[in-house]
Amino acid sequence: MGVTFSYTTLPKEELAEVNRQLEQKDTLDVIKWAYDQWGDELIYACSFGAEGMVLIDLISKVKADAKVIFLDTHLHFKETYGLIEEVKQRYPLLRIEMIQPDLSLQEQEKQYGDQLWLHNPDQCCRLRKIIPLQKALTGVKAWMSGLRREQSPTRAHVQFVNLDHKFQSIKVCPLIHWTWEEVWLYIKSFNLPYNPLHDQDYPSIGCEPCTLPVQGKADSRAGRWAHSAKTECGLHSQ
Ligand code: SF4
């Protein structure tokens, strides 16, 4: 696996072979493989959830100055912004960039109406997440995500290395086999910082208007867009 791949030069057969070889490696080796491939042309799009804390810690062991981006919709919980500051203190070499949408909330309200997330969440996610990520991925060859297969049926078939047709990029997902319990075991074992909302029944944390706590053993993403049929922000659909 010594060749550097890109979205346009990775045929399907070769992608399957890469994934077959990576299946025999542990998570840290998958991350090492990815940075060997792309170096600074690989960015980690972190949402600073529980998986994000694990991935940031593992990435920092491989490439202490890795590029990490956060899609700052201006609608996140104050606890999430607080956590990002904590992470910056703990991993000072990481290059964490807050990616901004083109429109301020006031401009969005003027153009699309009040509380767009209530009457057209797809449009809101497009403006505040998808277009900003598209711009952030311009000029880089691959991005990393903390998706896990057990998170939802829509994520059950994610591979370590994926052709991302939506963003015409390669998406690397080193945590596909991790369970929720393993994520928390790692966080607690290494005393990692995490969003305090996780201790208040928020397993999955996104923008404040679209995230509710989840009671009992419901699907961990059941609190996301609970006011609509939406289940994903669109970053991971093809
Ligand atoms: S998660 Fe909600 S508030 Fe955030 S961008 Fe999407 S629709 Fe808008």
Give tens-digit pLDDT for 14-53.
Answer: 899 999 999 999 999 999 999 999 999 999 999 999 999 9
Give tens-digit pLDDT for 90-139.
Answer: 999 999 999 999 999 999 999 999 999 999 999 999 999 999 999 999 98
**Domains in the chain, please, with CATH?**
12-200 (3.40.50.620)
Residue 225: pLDDT above 70? no
User: Average pLDDT, stretch 55-61?
Assistant: 98
C-beta of 234 in contact with ligand 1 (< 6 A): no
Give tens-digit pLDDT for 152-196.
Answer: 888 889 999 999 998 999 999 999 999 999 999 999 999 999 999
- Which residues, other chains included, contact 147 with Cβ-Cβ below 8 Å and sequence gap of 6+? 51, 155, 158, 173, 175, 176, 236
Distances (CA, A) of 135 to 16, 67, 132: 28, 15, 5
CA of 111 to the centre of ligand 1 (A): 16
Mean pLDDT of the chain, nearest integer: 91
For ligand 1, atom 6, the nearest C-alpha belongs to 125
Q: Report d(CA 133, CA 136) in Å as an integer.
A: 5
CA of 207 to the centre of ligand 1 (A): 6
Residue 173 catalytic? no
**SS3 category, 172:** strand
CA of 153 to the centre of ligand 1 (A): 21
Number of neighbouring beta carbons within 10 Å of residue 152 = 18
DSSP 225: T
Share of the chain above pLDDT 90, in %: 78
Residue 218: pLDDT above 60? no
- Which residues, other chains included, contact 91 with Cβ-Cβ below 8 Å and sequence gap of 6+? 56, 60, 64
Identify whether the C-beta of residue 52 lies closer than 8 Å to the C-beta of residue 144: no
